[in-house]
Amino acid sequence: MGITKQQTAANKDAIVAAADGLFRERGVDAVGLNELMGAAGLTRGGFYNHFASKDALVDSVLAKAMADGAGNLERAIAAAQARGSDPLAERVDWYLSPEHRADIESGCPNASFAGDARRLDPAARGHYAKGLAENIDRLTQTVDATGLSEGERRTRAIALFSEMAGSLLLSRAVADADPALSDEILDSARTDLHHRIGTAKA
């Protein structure tokens, strides 16, 4: 008896979900098909029923991860605004938190895939670039516009996000070897960013 279309779709989703987590944690090149399909609860032989190649899978993973990341950012901003909070300040606190540092598998894809992005095929690089651009565009809209032109707001958003992502990556890089330094990086960047956006606590 053949599998249903619903099961085929579910199997494909399971492969993408397993690949997403493994690629973020280990890097795309370090994950083989046997490990990947095992993590999805499937056999290697079934891989090519869903994807023509590993590159095709990577393209699907990046497209979904970046779209999901954009959706998560949009929901976080909307939730902060609904509470009357500063969405950029809340984003800084979440992004530079120990919890996000530990959540490599489902945290911000801009940071998780930054190391792999330049080595991926053109389609996957395009998904990454599009997702990063959308992230910057949305953050630009949250920057305090008082006295700033659109270009100045965008420049500030890029600088702020670059500090957030860079600090997160450095903090993750030393989390096991030097936990105190890892915490210091997060704390210092969070304090600096709150001063820069005018939300530092007195």
Task: Give pLDDT tens digits for 143-160.
Answer: 987 888 999 999 999 999
My answer on whether 37 and 59 are in the same domain is no
User: Tens digits of per-residue pLDDT, 30-41?
Assistant: 999 999 999 999
Q: What Cα–Cα distance (Å) separates residue 59 from each residue in 51, 68, 113?
A: 10, 14, 12
Report the C-alpha gap between 180 and 144 in whole angstroms.
Answer: 33
Domain that holds residue 34: 1-51
Q: Is the pLDDT of residue 1 over 70?
A: no
The residues near 90 (Cβ < 8 Å, ≥ 6 apart) are 76, 80
Domain count, the chain: 2
DSSP letter assigned to residue 120: S
Report the C-alpha gap between 17 and 39 in whole angstroms.
Answer: 9
My answer on whether 170 and 75 are in the same domain is yes
My answer on whether 111 and 41 are in the same domain is no
My answer on whether 145 and 177 are in the same domain is yes
My answer on whether 5 and 74 are in the same domain is no
**If DSSP codes are grouped into helix, strand and coil, which group holds residue 19?**
helix
pLDDT reported for residue 200 = 87
Q: Quickly tell me which residue has 């903090």 as its tokens.
A: 171
At residue 202 the predicted structure's pLDDT band, cuts being 50, 70 and 90, is low
pLDDT reported for residue 2 = 58
